[in-house]
Structure 1
């Protein structure tokens, strides 16, 4: 997922806008015009024309960019065409504004991703002999390669089955990343979570044979303090409120929040932001044995707030509560929380559009605008104070699973917000972390959501 060297011999690739097709075609040599007409090239999105020279060798390629409506509907159109291109090196010819050019070049890199860990052969895999692009000179190639590498990390972590990605393996990936960028990292395990006053993380993970833990990374010695918190539930059975089989099938992705903040942290460290970065990941498996937490149990959190556990399958907000309280104790300039938290978010906005919650209007505006600019869409939802009573059961300070099923993503966000005193600089993203079907530059499977939007927005928010 890297660009070809600038000096590589490259085949011209023309990205052709549907509205500009006629003018572009009229500027081509007669043999090219004849070939395009004979093959019916209409610049439809992702349509490819392989144009030979007089000897029959490939001389140039045209790829349709579609209409403005097509491009609003589908991102990474060029990336969607990459797997169908012959292996080789290409040089892009285009008439795109900078933001669109960056999107399409990034899409090309992302199109090279495949998860191959458990495949014995790459035979038939179009990415085994990839088409490569010379980075357009006007782009920051290093930045785009960093984003692509971070996205590959996120996808790999989510795609790996829980048999090979439990809390210990997530820890190993976390420590590898820390070592790569010269960060310091610490891990708190098992019963030590109780001694460190992280009781909710312990309560969720204690029933698993795989020891629960808190992963803690620090990087950077100066600048604004930014803390990222990600839900690392490596598999979620639902606990004693056991999920049915059809709901458990994708639960390897329940650590998608952890994978996402690791991808974002990778981008920040690789690009050398002048910040003091901290990353906190509660890494657990929500399993069942005689020590499992029970419906109706009351737990005391790090912050001192008591929580009535009315559904053991609403465990993500519990582990995040302790991690957020720990993060907040340092009063960082911003706290970002990412989690595959609620089915309610998917009902409201579907799999592609994560909601986010914050009291901070400038942060919300920056995040929404950045998501639009980099084609990593997010949507602001309200932290509606009127629903606060829904998470207050009376017998304890908070209820982890309000009855009734309404506004489930909002009430989950309100629950998390109770553990952050600096709530004005707090944003929570309820991500899905999964592509149900293949799309341009993204196969079916794990995917980062909101990370590129945050990477674009946070410098504005933090003033770096």
Structure 2
């Protein structure tokens, strides 16, 4: 239930008038001289995201002009719930259905606040009447999934360890009648999840593999994988304090996988969905795995540990090896995998690696249409030699300082069947600073794009 979106405008509802830069002069031409003078005095130029509050009789707020982009930017309304005076609003314009949906979604996402640890919970937001023509199901589906991702990432590791992450998956499974199986601790060794066990065994909070299954078995198979490193100290290759500060977000890939799963299940897409999440804490103890240890993996490949801080790819490789056994039509994994991807593309743009051009093109197109872009980087095979090991089948890190994101993706590719389309998203999962509709903290990046791609591919099979 989106409490900050109301069924319809009431008599006390204040109109929001969207205006583009090119359209401002025409709108002003139809207004009284007092309004033209007021707008000129505020310096309002209809720049996207800017507003002008117009006075009414008795000092009341009569109208709000909202600068918008002609391309119907999703975030045009994202800042308004928190910045407008408290009250009820409606959009005073005829909007195309797609634009109306984006306006409602931007408003809903702008109403997010993480208040779990605040003694004062009542974050005040303005309310908006549902814009006519908006797809309410799509807005609720996306907003609730985004809130789930943000909440999971924002929760500190003290309250979001492997067990709590499994509980979140169970709660989602219970809501949508999905089957959730969790393999814990030494049972990982018995069930052949050796790399997951090795990475997580040093923590008193036991590692686990979360396996969610939903949908009719006769439907096309889609598998999502999420890196669930609930906190990453770096292991024995210990991170410095500034590198460890945000490591509660290292389970952001798992949060993304659960977010996409929620959207799929809410929409009842005709797919057979599987979600695999290796959930661990990379800690330091006498039982920690060490540099130059050689680890077994589910696929049977041996991996020499060049660096214990490259643990995400180790837990993902077991999950990928299992994912291919079902022969799904598509495998998509999310991971906060490398700082190299952030150096290359920044915090806002996930790196996409893909072994199938059609899948990559579909994801990129969906990202652009949803305002949720990603950027494709190559699986450049000559760099695979950087993963060579003298004592094992491969090393978990490259032999040099370059191309870190590509080398990590090439490591994962070794555990994927070449005949199965696979996409790997290396995401930041975090907003370093606040922007309209996107507060500082945990963030879903690429989630809407992935869902839109899957919806376009499979919804027609209803």
CA contact (8 A) 2:202 2:287 kept: yes
Q: Tell me the residue number matched to 2:215.
A: 220
Q: Tell me the residue number matched to 1:110.
A: 109
Q: Secondary structure at the match of 2:149?
A: helix
**1:387 corresponds to 2:387:** no
State the shift of 1:235 in Å.
Answer: 0.2
For residues 199-227 of structure 1, give each alpha carbon's deviation from its aligned partner in whole angstroms, at most 9, with x where no partner exists.
Answer: 00000000000010011111111421111
Q: Please report the TM-score for the alignment, with normalisation by the length of structure 1.
A: 0.94
CA contact (8 A) 1:99 1:374 kept: no
What value does the CA root-mean-square deviation take over the aligned residues? 1.8
CA contact (8 A) 1:224 1:276 kept: yes
Q: 1:333 aligns with which of 329, 333, 346?
A: 329
Q: Tell me the residue number matched to 1:152.
A: 147
Equivalent residue pairs, number: 456
- Report the Cα distance in structure 2 between the residues aligned to 1:355 and 1:220, rounded to whole angstroms: 29
CA contact (8 A) 2:294 2:302 kept: yes
Q: Secondary structure at the match of 2:309?
A: coil
Q: Tell me the residue number matched to 1:4.
A: 6
- Report the Cα distance in structure 2 between the residues aligned to 1:109 and 1:45, rounded to whole angstroms: 18
- Report the Cα distance in structure 2 between the residues aligned to 1:136 and 1:7, rounded to whole angstroms: 9
Q: Tell me the residue number matched to 2:286.
A: 290
Structure 1: gaps (5+ residues)? none
For residues 98-135 of structure 1, give each alpha carbon's deviation from its aligned partner in whole angstroms, at most 9, with x where no partner exists.
Answer: 54443332111100001111111247xxxx22111112
State the shift of 1:41 in Å.
Answer: 2.5
State the shift of 1:398 in Å.
Answer: 1.3
CA contact (8 A) 2:100 2:133 kept: no
For residues 51-89 of structure 1, give each alpha carbon's deviation from its aligned partner in whole angstroms, at most 9, with x where no partner exists.
Answer: 232333222211122677xx8xx8612212331111222
Q: Tell me the residue number matched to 1:22.
A: 25
- Report the Cα distance in structure 1 between the residues aligned to 2:92 and 2:390, rounded to whole angstroms: 65
Q: Secondary structure at the match of 1:23?
A: helix
Q: Please report the TM-score for the alignment, with normalisation by the length of structure 2.
A: 0.95
**1:196 corresponds to 2:191:** yes
For residues 231-276 of structure 1, give each alpha carbon's deviation from its aligned partner in whole angstroms, at most 9, with x where no partner exists.
Answer: 0000000111111111011100000000111111111111111111
State the shift of 1:31 in Å.
Answer: 4.6
- Report the Cα distance in structure 2 between the residues aligned to 1:440 and 1:80, rounded to whole angstroms: 4
Larger mean CA deviation between 46-55 and 326-335 belongs to: 46-55
Instruction: Tell me: CA distance 1:251–1:41, structure 2 relative to 1, closer, same or farther (3 Å).
Output: same
State the shift of 1:7 in Å.
Answer: 5.4
Q: Tell me the residue number matched to 1:63.
A: 66
State the shift of 1:42 in Å.
Answer: 2.0
Q: Tell me the residue number matched to 2:158.
A: 163
Q: Secondary structure at the match of 1:20?
A: helix
- Report the Cα distance in structure 2 between the residues aligned to 1:349 and 1:112, rounded to whole angstroms: 28
- Map 1:249-268 to 2 at 5 A: 249-268=245-264
CA contact (8 A) 2:338 2:404 kept: yes
CA contact (8 A) 1:103 1:375 kept: no
